[in-house]
Each structure stands twice: as C-alpha cells, then as structure tokens.
Amino acid sequence: MRVVIAGAGSVGRSIARELLHNGHTVLLVDRLASGARVARVPEATWLEGDACEISTLEEAGLADCDVVVAATGDDKVNLVVSLLAKTEFGVPRTVARVNNPRNEWMYDEAWGVDVAVSTPRLMTALVEEAVSVGDLVRIFSFQHGHSTIVELTLPPDSPSAGKRVGDIAFPADTVLVGIIREEHPIAPTRDDALEAGDELLFLTTPEVEDDLEAMLSPARRVPRGKD
C-alpha cells in the first residue's frame, strides 16, 4: 500500500514508522523537510513543499496512492489536504487528524474525510474506559457509515448479567463484536453468557447509544449528550 502523509511532525513521523514497519510505502510531505528531520525516518521518501498546493500534491503522486493521511498540527490544513485528495485526485481513503475537538464536526465527507482521528477524544475515551463501570464510552466513529464503536463494562446489577447473548434483544443496528473477560478477548456466540465485569465492545449508531446504555446499565441516571 502506498501512503502519502502530509505533516512530518512527531505525529506524522510516528505514523510513517509504523506503516514502514508493516511493509508499506510512505511519502512524507512537509514544508520543512530538513536533513535532521529526514534522518529520523530515512526509510521514507520525503518531499519538501506546501501540502495545500495542488502542484505539491501532483509531485507527491496522489493520483497513484492508496491512502492520504493529513497529520499536520493545523486543522485548516488537514481539511484542505483531505478535500483536495478526494476531489482533485480521487484518493480512495483519507485519514485526518483533529487537533481541536471543537472542529471535529467539520471532518466529514463534505470535506473529503473518510476517517477523523481526534487525539483528545481518544484520550478521554481511554480515561473513561479505565475508571467507569456501567458507562458507555464511544471509542471510535466511522464517518461514512455513521456508525460507532463503543465500550461498556457490565455492572453487577445489570439485568443482562448471566444472560446468554442470544437471549438479549440489543437495540436496532447494534452488534456485540467482542467481550474482554479477565484480560482475555472472546469472540461472542449466541451461547456465551455475559458476566459482571465483562468489557463489551459494540458496533452501533449514535442514535441508539442511549438505549443501549439504559438497557445494560439502567442505574445510570445522567443521559449522554449527542454529538
């Protein structure tokens, strides 16, 4: 897979290293492609230029890449790069970094963004996941499908504790995709019974998140806000 990353700061370089380690081809585009920076990820190809300029993106060969990652520290730049990648070059997949959570609402297909990654949201989710029992935590959002991955640790007083998965009527458009029990992952079947303390991973939609939480953790009293 050929990946072009706009922004060679610490985030962009970290992504590049992981992709290179996994055998992918990576081109880093940055306005400051200095020798010191290049030396930090020498296995990647580098291009010095403004990723918001079509001429730079043409030189980067976006028409022939599989994924564009907009990883700069400027949300305006990331949105412009994503939009140009989709509208001018027809890139199959774009991934954009969200720096300010207040701008997250703009990161959708109208701006050419397939997947938006918000570091503050992910960190918040990990903190909540670590300390909350019975609270539904949104881990990830898929822009095009308007679907989410959510997690909930089943409380001891849940009416679903002890029930077989096949006997539980989850809300519409909701799929239980994984159970983590005593640090071991389980691929759930209809015959698996839920236990108090299980970490449950669901693929669902924002519209039914409240219903899912109320069903699994009815003692929770504070309603979730919708994004």
pLDDT per residue as tens digits for the range 26-47: 999 999 887 888 998 999 999 9
* pLDDT, tens digit (0-9, with 9 covering 90-100), for 53-75: 999 999 999 999 999 999 999 99
The model carries a pTM of 0.64
Q: Could you give the CA distance from residue 182 to residue 200 in angstroms, rounded to a whole number? A: 12
Q: How confident is the model at residue 220 (pLDDT cuts 50, 70, 90)?
A: low
Q: Could you give the CA distance from residue 22 to residue 30 in angstroms, rounded to a whole number? A: 22
pLDDT at position 222 over 70: no
Beta-bridge partners for 137: 151
> What is the arithmetic mean of pLDDT over 150-175?
93
Q: How confident is the model at residue 159 (pLDDT cuts 50, 70, 90)?
A: very high
Q: Where in the chain is the domain with CATH 3.40.50.720?
A: 2-116
**Which tokens hold the place of 118?**
């918000």
Beta-bridge partners for 181: 184
Mean of all residue pLDDT scores within the chain: 87
Residue 191 or 141, more confident:
191
Q: Could you give the CA distance from residue 112 to residue 156 in angstroms, rounded to a whole number? A: 44
CATH architecture of 2-116: 3-Layer(aba) Sandwich (3.40)
pLDDT at position 224 over 50: no
> What is the arithmetic mean of pLDDT over 201-209?
91
Q: Write out the DSSP string of 190-210.
A: TTPBP-TT-EEEEEE-GGGHH
Q: Where in the chain is the domain with CATH 3.30.70.1450?
A: 132-216
Q: Could you give the CA distance from residue 210 to residue 201 in angstroms, rounded to a whole number? A: 15
CATH number of 132-216: 3.30.70.1450
pLDDT at position 225 over 50: no
